[in-house]
Structure 1
């Protein structure tokens, strides 16, 4: 996989992760009895879709924190 493809995958994962975070902050019309559990399930699905390991997601979160994209 070339650098351009890696960057595209990273951006897609970043966008999907941001969308999942936004959904947590702004609850949908569906009842959410366990928002933390629902978030973790959605995150695991995203990780599977994008073939990302726990270490990859951890690195992504560290990067987003360092860039000030998440608090």
Structure 2
């Protein structure tokens, strides 16, 4: 047989006293919230962000990921071209410097789009 605790009936005066204490504490908390000079620290969660901001972040993250994929693909193609022509990075830098120094290629010009 289980033991059942017998609850003592709470006196009505005691109930009223507890209610008043709770009511006073609640009123004090409200006053602190309304006081602009109060240093009452209210625990809050992370800031709420709008759906538009979340979607914007998602689009930016996808663009960044896509750009990283393009960068990797470019580097792979670039290395493959250097390898196919038997060039090193140093050889390419030397060729570029030579073309620039003789005026055969301007720095702001895209190769293959030279004007006659």
TM-score bracket, normalised by the shorter chain, equals 0.3 to 0.5
TM-score scaled by length of structure 1? 0.41
**RCO higher in 1 or 2 (8 Å CA, sep ≥ 6)?**
1
Structure number with greater Rg is 2
